[in-house]
Amino acid sequence: MMDQETYVTADGRTIGGVLMEMRNISLRFGGVKAITDISFDIREGEIRAIIGPNGAGKSSMLNVISGFYIPQEGEVWYKGAVRPQMRPFEVARQGIARTFQNIALFEGMSVLDNVMTGRLNHMTMGLLSQAIWKGKAEQEEIENREVAEKIIDFLEIQHIRKTPVSRLPYGLKKRVELARALAAQPSLLLLDEPMAGMNVEEKEDMSRFILDVNDEFGTTIALIEHDMGVVMDLSDRVVVMDYGKKIGDGSPDEVRNNQAVIDAYLGVAHD
Ligand SMILES: Nc1ncnc2c1ncn2[C@@H]1O[C@H](COP(=O)(O)OP(=O)(O)OP(=O)(O)O)[C@@H](O)[C@H]1O
């Protein structure tokens, strides 16, 4: 079922086949319709944004993608098959990693140790097997450290690798969170409002790192964001939500010129 058609973007990047597809997703909380009949796909190698005003349903959608919410209706297709209901840790094993809007790091631990926790899904050996196969356990530990260190270098946080996270300014904490998610070497990286609460300089840094990650590792990235301006330069394609419905989907230019999107952002009254 996977759409394998690839295409090359204006800036020369190759976007692959469909990695994830949301089909007619609806999600309710009691009487509140958070998502109504939304379909869209995420293709390999692209940066895909989901934007919309407050309460549009973006977080709910990210939680459906990450497996945290099970929609009442619709199907989530991933890597060419319907994804069965699974717990978030099982979703993580399938190669989906995420960051959170409110930073979720171990504040008392160093940057390096936090990034290493991103490797948990790659640790195959329990305590008993580590005791029996010591050499193999050491080898695994070395490999995990190598991946963590490579990502720390890439995100330019070597100088704080031993620093407890609690001592870092907000912008750097967000970068450490990105590093931890990347340490899992995900097929799909989900970013929950990665620029929220940042100053202009921090936003520019974060945008650059998101682009570099996509470029260097080829990681497919889906992000939700409140601020339309921030994602327009960053994204290949944008889904726009409003009141739980999809009102736009396309390239940044298409979305920018979509009347329903303009109305939603200008706060035009809805029937
Ligand atoms: N756990 C929940 N229980 C009940 N209602 C919820 C829950 N989560 C979200 N909602 C409701 O669903 C709708 C969509 O909320 P959601 O948080 O997904 O929107 P959002 O676009 O992420 O908003 P924001 O930009 O303000 O974070 C809102 O009406 C919200 O009140």
Structure tokens at 159: 């100088």
Q: Domain 1-95+186-271: which topology?
A: Rossmann fold (3.40.50)
Q: Which residues pair with 25 in a beta bridge?
A: 38
The pLDDT > 90 percentage for the chain reads 64
Q: Under a CB-based contact definition with an 8 Å cutoff, are residues 81 and 143 in contact? A: no
The mean-pLDDT minimum among 17-31, 40-54, 90-104, 113-127 falls in 113-127
pLDDT confidence bin for 135, thresholds 50/70/90: low
Averaged pLDDT score across all residues of the chain: 88
How far apart are the CA of 10 and the centre of ligand 1, in A? Answer: 35
Nearest atom, ligand 1, residue 30 CA: 4
CA 57 to centroid of chain Cα atoms: 16
Residue of minimum CA distance from atom 25 in ligand 1: 54
The mean-pLDDT minimum among 156-160, 162-166, 187-191, 263-267 falls in 263-267
What are the residues whose beta carbons fall under 8 Å from the beta carbon of 270, sequence distance 6 or more?
A: 242, 243
Q: Residue 1: its pLDDT value, please?
A: 41
Ligand 1: does its nearest atom lie under 6 Å from the Cβ of 29? yes
- CA dist 205 and 174 (Å) reads 11
The mean-pLDDT minimum among 67-76, 147-156, 214-223, 228-237 falls in 228-237
- Helix%, strand%, coil% for the chain, nearest 5: 40, 25, 35
Q: Under a CB-based contact definition with an 8 Å cutoff, are residues 250 and 238 in contact? A: yes
How far apart are the CA of 35 and the centre of ligand 1, in A? Answer: 9
Nearest atom, ligand 1, residue 61 CA: 18
The pLDDT > 70 percentage for the chain reads 90
Q: Half-sphere exposure of residue 29, counting CA atoms within 13 Å on the CB side?
A: 7
How far apart are the CA of 59 and the centre of ligand 1, in A? Answer: 7
Whether the predicted pLDDT of 181 surpasses 70 = yes
Q: Please compute the mean of the pLDDT values over residues 77-106 and round it to a whole number.
A: 85
Question: Domain residue spans in the chain?
Answer: 1-95+186-271, 108-185
- CA dist 167 and 26 (Å) reads 42
Residue of minimum CA distance from atom 16 in ligand 1: 57
Nearest atom, ligand 1, residue 35 CA: 14
The mean-pLDDT minimum among 57-61, 122-126, 187-191, 219-223 falls in 122-126
Report strand pairing: 188-192 vs 96-98: parallel
Whether the predicted pLDDT of 179 surpasses 50 = yes
Testing ligand 1's pocket by substitution, the residue of 32, 65, 193, 231 carrying the most ligand atoms inside 8 A of its CB is: 32
